Structure 1
Amino acid sequence: MTSETTSPKAPVFIKAPSRNATADNAPVETLVTEVIARVRAEGDAAVRDYSRQFDKAELEVFEVSEADRLAALEELDPQTRADTEFAITNVTNFAKAQLGTLSALDVEILPGVHLGHRNIPLDRVGCYVPGGRFPLLSAPIMTIVPAKVAGVKEVVACLPPNAHRAMIAGCHLAGADRIFRIGGAQAIAAMALGTESVPKVDKIVGPGNAFVNEAKRQVFGPVGIDQLAGPSEIFVLADETGDAEMIATDLLAQAEHDVRTRVGLITTHKPLADAVLAEVERQLSDLSTAEIAARSWEDYGEIALVEDEAAMIAYSDHVAAEHLQVHTVDPQGFAKKLSHYGSLFIGELSSVVYSDKCSGTNHTLPTMAAGRYTGGLWVGAYIKTATHQWLTEEGVKQVAPPAARQAASEGLEGHRRAAQLRLDRLQA
C-alpha cells in the first residue's frame, strides 16, 4: 500500500480531535464580499469606516510616516532589534541562495528555433502582516525580506492599526517601502483594488485570520496571492526513540498560536503515545498560554498509533501537515521517504520554533493538506518566469509546415495563413 494509490489504513487514536478543522465559512464570505464591494466603490472612506468598526481605530492618515517609522525603531528594545536583525540576515541569506538556483534559459530546440525564459521580479507586492495576540516580529521578515531579495520594485506592508509598535519597526527593518496601518479584509481589498492612499499591488502575500484569508480568495485573479492559509499545524513522526517531553513541548509551542491550531503525534510505539499524552497534560498545568493551548489541544489535538513505518509515512502524507518533525532512529533516511508537507524538520534538534523565528527558512507555509500540491512562501513567489522565442529562416522551415498542417486540420484558416506566410516569402 502507498499513499499515492490508496487512503492509509485508519490509525488507532490514543487521543482523537473533538472538532473538525473545517468550519462553516458562509458568514465570513458574506461579510468579506460586502467589504470588498464598499472599498471598490468608496476607497479610503470605506477603509476608514471598517477600521473604526473592526479595530476601534480613528485614522485620518493610514500610512506610517518616515518619522514615525524611525520613532518605532528607536523604541525597540536593543536586544529585540539585534535578534530581529539576526533573523533578517538568515532569511536574506537563504533567500539569496534560493535565488541562485533560478537561472535564465536560452536553448536552440531545433535548428534555428531558439526558446528561453527570463525570471522577472514583480513590480509591486502587498505584504499582509498580522497583528494577532502577540507582537510577531518574525511575520514581516518572512514576507518582506524575500520580496526585496527577489528584486521587487516596491513592497507595501499593511498591519492592523492596533498592532504593537514593534511591528512597525519590524516592517521597517525588513525593508518595506511603504507601511499602512490597515488590517483585516479591508487591507486586502485596499491593496487589491487600490484607493486614494493605498497603491494597487500585483500580488498579496502573508497569513491572517479567516477574514483575511477569505478576502485573498475573493480578490484572486486580477491580483495574485501566495496561498490560502488556515490555522497553523504541527505533526511529529516518532518511533520508540522519541522523547515524550520534547515532543509535548513542541506540540504545545504551536498550540499556543491559536485555539484552532491542529497538533498531532503519529507513532508506532504505544508507550510513547501514552507518555506524550500525560506529558502534554502536565505541561499545560503551568504554561502561561494554557488558555489558548489547552483549547487547541482539546479540540484539534491528536495522537495516532500506527502499525509500522509504512503506515506512519502513509498517514503523514495523507495529513500533509504544515510543519512536520521527524523524531526517529534514522531521521535523515526517514525524511527522504516523505512527500507531502509544508516544511520538514529532520531530527529532534530541529524544532519548528527555530524556523518560526530566525533560522532562515520561511514560516509562511501551506495548511489544510495544501502541502500535497504546493510548498511554502519563497523568493520564487515574487518572480514570474516568462518564456520567449526567436526564429531564423531555418527555424521557420522547421516549424511552419507542421504548424500550417495542424491549423488546417483544425479548420483554423487564419492560423494556417499566419503559419504559411513567412514560409511562402522565404520560398519566393
Structure 2
Amino acid sequence: MYRLKEPAPGRAENLSEISSRVREILADIERRGEAAVREYSRRFDGWDPDDFRVPDSVVRSAGNELDEKLKRSLRFAVEQVRGFAEHQRRTLLDLEVETLPGLTLGHRHVPVESVGAYVPGGRYTLIASTYMNVVPARVAGVDRVVVCTPPRDGRVHPAVLYAAHLAGADAVYALGGVQAIAAMAFGVLPGLAAVDMVVGPGNAYVVEAKRQVFGRVGIDLLAGPTEIGIIADDTADPFLVACDLVGQLEHDPRSRGVLITTSERLARDVLAQLDEHLRAVSTEEVARAAWEAGGEVVVVADEDELIKVCDDYALEHVEVHVREPQRMIHLLRNYGSLFVGPETTVAYGDKVAGPNHVLPTLRAARFTGGQWVGKYLKTVTYQYATPAASRELAEHCATESLAEGMVAHARTATVRSSASVTVG
C-alpha cells in the first residue's frame, strides 16, 4: 500500500477548548433556564423572539412558499425514508420463548416516549436532516417529536418547515447550537418539556453538547464531519470517481475524501481531473479546502488489501466501483452506508433513497451503524416461571451468589425453593 496523496497534518480541532466551552454553556442554561437560552441565542444567532416555537399555522402553510417541483421531490424523499423505516420496523419482532419447562423469557421493542431532533442550519439549509430524524421516530411509535433548528435572517427556511410537517413533527423551534440541545434535554423553555432522546447531526459544538448530555438523555450517535470513501479497480470511470469525491467534500472544509484503488492508472487519472471538477461547482472554495486538507489517494496491491484497508478506515459513506460490485455487500463490514455500483452516488443516500443519512464518522463504524428506526426503540426483556422452574433456578442462583459472597441474593432464591442450599 502506498499513497499518491496524503491528508494535511494538524487537522484536529481543539477539542479540549470546545468541551470546556460547551460545559460552561450547558451548566449556565441548566442553572438560569430560559434567560440563559435567550442570551446565547442573541449572542450566536442574533435571535430573541417572543416565542422560540414556530406557530403551527406557519409550519402548516410553509409549503405555499415553495414551488411544486421542490414539494414533489420532498414528498418523494419522505415516502422513501418512511417506507424503508417501515420495512425495517417489521423485521424487529417481539419474542417469547420457553427455554426450560416452566421458564418463559421474552423481549419487547418499546419506543422512547419523546425525541428532540436537531436540524443544522449553518452553511446550507439541510432539509433532509429534518425527515431523516423525524420519520424513523414516528415509524418507531415515539409519542412526541420536536425539532430545533437555527433561524436564518430571522426565520426558519420554509422547506425545513414543510419537511417537518410532512414528517410528522409535533413542534418546530427556531433555536440552534448548544442552547438548542440544552433546551431539549433540560426542558427549560415554556411549553418545551424535556425529551428522552436527542438526535441529529451538527457542528463540533452541537456534537460535544450531545456527548455531554448523554446519560441524562439518550442520543443517537456522534456524527461529523462527513466522510466519503471510494473503492475502485481498473474498471472504474475516473470522471465519476472524481465527481463523487467533490460532491461530498462541499459539505464542510473539514470533510474527508478517500480513494482506495488497486489501479495506479485510475488513481492518477482521478488526481488529474480533480481540479476540473472543483472548478465546475460554485461551492469550490469549501470543497477545495476539504480536498487539500483531508483528501487521500491510496493504492493497494489487490482486492484483499482493498477490503482490509477500507475496513480499517471505517468510513461514513463508501462507494463501490469495482467488477461485480454487489459482492462487496458481503465482504466489507466497517462502514456507515454502502453505495454499490456506478449508478449509486452518496448524494442519493444523503437526500432521497431511503436509508438514513445520519451515519458514524471518525472510525465509529467499527462498532455502530447509523440512524435507523431501531435507534428509537428500547429492547426490554421479561421473564416468568412456574414453581417447578423456580426451584431449578434457585439452586443454581444460590450456588453462584454464595460463591460471589452475595448472601442476600442467595436467600431470595432459596426462600422460593426446597433446594437444600445452606445460606451463611
Aligned equivalent of 2:98: 108
Aligned equivalent of 1:66: 56
TM-score (ref. length: structure 1): 0.95
How far apart, in 2, do the equivalents of 1:392 and 1:20 lie?
63
Matched, 1:380 2:374: yes
Structure 1 vs Structure 2: percent identity of aligned residues? 46
Q: Deviations over 1:325-370 (max 9, x none)?
A: 1100111123321110000111111111111110111111000000
Higher mean alpha-carbon deviation, 406-415 vs 283-292, is at: 406-415
Higher mean alpha-carbon deviation, 223-232 vs 161-170, is at: 161-170
Aligned equivalent of 2:171: 178
Higher mean alpha-carbon deviation, 84-93 vs 283-292, is at: 283-292
Aligned equivalent of 2:422: none
Q: How does 1:333-344 map to 2 (within 5 A)?
A: 333-344=327-338
- Distance apart, 1:12 and its partner CA: 1.4
Aligned equivalent of 1:5: none
- Distance apart, 1:20 and its partner CA: 4.6
Aligned equivalent of 1:196: 189
- Distance apart, 1:268 and its partner CA: 0.9
Unaligned runs of 5+ in 2: 420-424
Aligned equivalent of 1:33: 23
How far apart, in 1, do the equivalents of 2:185 and 2:401 lie?
39
**1:223 pairs with one of 217, 224, 229:** 217
Higher mean alpha-carbon deviation, 127-136 vs 203-212, is at: 127-136
Matched, 1:139 2:129: yes
- Distance apart, 1:21 and its partner CA: 4.5
Aligned equivalent of 1:304: 298
- Distance apart, 1:164 and its partner CA: 2.4
Q: How does 1:251-330 map to 2 (within 5 A)?
A: 251-330=245-324
- Distance apart, 1:70 and its partner CA: 2.2
- Superposed CA RMSD: 1.4
Higher mean alpha-carbon deviation, 133-142 vs 177-186, is at: 133-142
**2:398 pairs with one of 404, 407, 419:** 404
Higher mean alpha-carbon deviation, 210-219 vs 329-338, is at: 329-338
**2:79 pairs with one of 79, 89, 112:** 89
TM-score (ref. length: structure 2): 0.96
- Distance apart, 1:156 and its partner CA: 1.0
Question: Which residue type is aligned with residue 148 of structure 2?
Answer: C
Aligned equivalent of 2:409: 415
How far apart, in 1, do the equivalents of 2:92 and 2:225 lie?
31
Question: What SS does the corresponding residue of 2:417 show, helix, strand or coil?
Answer: helix
Q: Deviations over 1:248-293 (max 9, x none)?
A: 1111010111111000110111110011011111111232110110
- Distance apart, 1:105 and its partner CA: 0.6
Higher mean alpha-carbon deviation, 329-338 vs 309-318, is at: 329-338
Aligned equivalent of 2:364: 370
Higher mean alpha-carbon deviation, 84-93 vs 333-342, is at: 333-342
How far apart, in 1, do the equivalents of 2:395 and 2:36 lie?
58
Question: What SS does the corresponding residue of 1:348 show, helix, strand or coil?
Answer: coil
Q: Deviations over 1:90-138 (max 9, x none)?
A: 1001000000000011011111111000110110011001113222211
How far apart, in 2, do the equivalents of 1:71 and 1:335 lie?
43
How far apart, in 1, do the equivalents of 2:25 and 2:392 lie?
54
Question: What SS does the corresponding residue of 1:59 show, helix, strand or coil?
Answer: coil
How far apart, in 1, do the equivalents of 2:61 and 2:90 lie?
36
Higher mean alpha-carbon deviation, 335-344 vs 151-160, is at: 335-344
Kept in 1, the 8 Å contact 2:391–2:418? The answer is no
How many residues align? The count is 416
Question: Which residue type is aligned with residue 145 of structure 1?
Answer: V
- Distance apart, 1:58 and its partner CA: 2.2
Kept in 1, the 8 Å contact 2:183–2:189? The answer is no
Kept in 1, the 8 Å contact 2:258–2:296? The answer is yes
Kept in 1, the 8 Å contact 2:56–2:171? The answer is no
Higher mean alpha-carbon deviation, 13-22 vs 185-194, is at: 13-22
Question: Which residue type is aligned with residue 133 of structure 1?
Answer: R
How far apart, in 1, do the equivalents of 2:385 and 2:311 lie?
45
